Structure 1
């Protein structure tokens, strides 16, 4: 079998039917009300939703959490796919990004921060998608305004959660042929960011969270320590929460068994 990403496997409703896991309605919806702005319209932005999601996650780690490991995935893409000139350009842009964001409040971020962030994240998307595509556009004024609002919401949310002990954790099958990079771990909660216009929990998100949980490989947190699964959406300032202690533990075994079987074929 060729390698697959957890996100791709999570789209497979035949492999992981929600009737054998949990329905989307089992997740509790939470509104955080960090501001009075409401949902941010995707249609008013000029950057694709996939690039926006990758960028907001990267900016949250770098600017809100001061996590230099946020460069890790893009550096992997760079090492495997870039030529000498591209590597030199990346290193220059990464250094510029760090200089422009050091000790800078979110509202004061220069537009170049978001442009450089997209350039860096293109290599993160390359390692996940299998090929590199340079950014075809950079954020316009409205998009940057939205990005700053989402970053402030992410900051407020993470302050409420507290004690994030891992960013960019890894989940994988025993043979490593199905793997994924998740977003955040607290001592008992697995958290994934979704910069989405959806107002309800999505089936693919359910499967993705369960796969991240049962395939978790981390020296700080074992899968059994994770008692809650959570989505946070900074576009809508909303979350979805599932308490795993309230479900049949056989569900977790089913998801893990299905994933491991899938990785063999």
Structure 2
């Protein structure tokens, strides 16, 4: 069975059995929390998360083409590359128009990952003022977070050499010197499926051709909506959990 990391996580029963979310250290950062954002947004949360992620990459050194590369690839699936390129050209920073373009580009990202059925004409996407302001504030929080816990070594994390016939694709968010990070903009606290996703990324990284994953000492989730960090040391992950991840979830061959 061929699965992405996301699909593998969704199909795994009792995902909290590996590491409980409550075991993660919680760190509230300065600069406001969820109560300081507008309570209602008029755009699907998944698109908001993608836009915050990619705008953060842009504001921390990525070129526009690099930050939105997945969206460009997705636009090819619906014959809309010129439209995507025009949107990327209009992303200049965190002005209102730039944020609106980033949210529209997020539609093509979902097409790349979920297929053409996920496509919504981008001209129908109109973020309201509260949504735009929330995205802007979450990006600035993310930049401030990376100023403290970064710098980032890389983003658009992939795991060449680590994938198997059971987990064939999946890409993480950010890698800093000692932490593998995932970004979540959920209004919920850390969920067990998010923890399992990180655990799989970590194991994929260690089995990949990329040596930088061997320096990872922590798994972390940063939620810019809450301005909250969740962090867990990989040294505390049990041998039993690692064995099940490697041989039952990812399905590496036993040596």
Indicate whether the TM-score tops 0.5.
yes
Query: Which residue of structure 1 aligns with residue 113 of structure 2?
Result: 128
Q: Which moved more, 1:247-256 or 1:203-212?
A: 247-256
User: Residue 180 of structure 1: SS of its match in structure 2?
Assistant: coil
The answer to whether 1:147 aligns with 2:135 is yes
Give the aligned partner of residue 44 of structure 1: 40
Give me the whole-angstrom Cα distance separating, in 2, the residues matched to 1:123 and 1:176. 26
User: Which residue matches 1:235?
Assistant: 225
TM-score by length of 2: 0.87
Structure 1 Cα separation of the partners of residues 142 and 41 of structure 2? 19
Q: How far apart, in 1, do the equivalents of 2:151 and 2:142 lie?
A: 14
- Give the aligned partner of residue 192 of structure 1: 182
How far apart are residue 176 of structure 1 and its match? 7.2
Equivalent residues of 1:197, 1:235 under 8 A apart: yes
**1:189-228 map, 5 Å:** 189-198=179-188, 200-216=189-205, 217=208, 219-222=210-213, 224-228=214-218
| Distance in 2 between residues matched to 1:176 and 1:91, nearest whole Å | 34
Q: Which residue of 2 aligns with 1:162?
A: 150
Q: Partner of 1:192: helix, strand, or coil?
A: strand
Query: Is the 1:31–1:238 Cα contact (8 Å) retained in structure 2?
Result: yes
- SS across alignment from 1:261: coil
* Contact map agreement 1:27 1:241 (CA 8 A) in 2: yes
1:111 to 74, 88, 96: 96
Q: 8 Å contact 2:71–2:84 — kept in the other structure?
A: no
| Residues 132-182 of structure 1: per-residue CA shift (max 9 Å, x gap) | 322333211111111111111101100001221110101452337532111
Match of 1:105 in 2: none
- Taking the aligned partners of 2:34 and 2:100, their CA distance within structure 1 comes to 25
| Equivalent-residue separation in structure 1 for 2:248 and 2:183 (angstroms) | 24
Task: Write out aligned runs for 1:64-83 (5 A).
Answer: 64-68=60-64, 69-79=66-76, 81-83=77-79
Q: Counterpart of 1:106?
A: none
Give the structure 1 partner of residue 16 of structure 2. Answer: 18
What SS does the aligned partner of 2:219 have?
strand
Counterpart Cα distance in 2 of 1:87 and 1:7: 26
Answering whether residue 128 of structure 2 is matched by residue 137 of structure 1, we say no
Separation in 1 of the partners of 2:95 and 2:190?
34
**Aligned partners of 1:44, 1:60: CA distance in 2, in Å?**
22
Partner Cα distance (2:237, 2:172) in 1: 22
After superposition, the CA RMSD in angstroms is: 2.3
Alpha-carbon separation, structure 2, partners of 1:218 and 1:186 = 18
2:53 is equivalent to residue 57 of structure 1: yes
* 1:256 aligns to 2:246 (yes or no): yes
Could you say what secondary structure the match of 1:46 adopts?
A: coil
Distance 1:219 1:236 in 2: 32
Runs of 5+ unmatched residues, structure 2: none
Is contact 2:104–2:125 with CA below 8 Å preserved after alignment?
Answer: no
